[in-house]
Amino acid sequence: MQLGNVIGRATSTVKHPTLKGWRLLIVQPIGPGGEPDGAPQLVIDNQGGGKGDTVIISSDGKTAKEMVGSDNSPARWHVLGIVD
């Protein structure tokens, strides 16, 4: 689990069939001091996060694949919650 800042949404005309209907966010992971920690990630979201929100993300690919209902999905990162 890691904190991240939502920097935008991804929009695509063609995507993997397992990602249809899923909201895709671009999230910049942040470290303990609030500094960027690595490259931005494409994250599936079912919590309703928006640009500027701080979210809790996870790179547990197994859980992401369970969320979308397919072991064949490229999904890896997902939103666990939104920080108030």
Is residue 77 within 8 A of residue 59, CB to CB? The reply is yes
Q: What is the pLDDT of residue 49?
A: 94
Residue with tokens 């079912």: 46
Is residue 32 within 8 A of residue 17, CB to CB? The reply is no
The domains of the chain, with CATH numbers, are 2-78 (2.40.50.220)
Q: What is the pLDDT along the chain (84 residues), one digit of tens a residue?
A: 999 999 999 998 899 999 999 999 999 999 999 999 999 999 999 999 999 999 999 999 999 999 999 999 999 999 999 998
Q: What is the pLDDT of residue 64?
A: 94
Is residue 44 within 8 A of residue 64, CB to CB? The reply is yes
Q: What is the pLDDT of residue 57?
A: 97
Q: What is the pLDDT of residue 13?
A: 86
Q: What is the pLDDT of residue 84?
A: 84
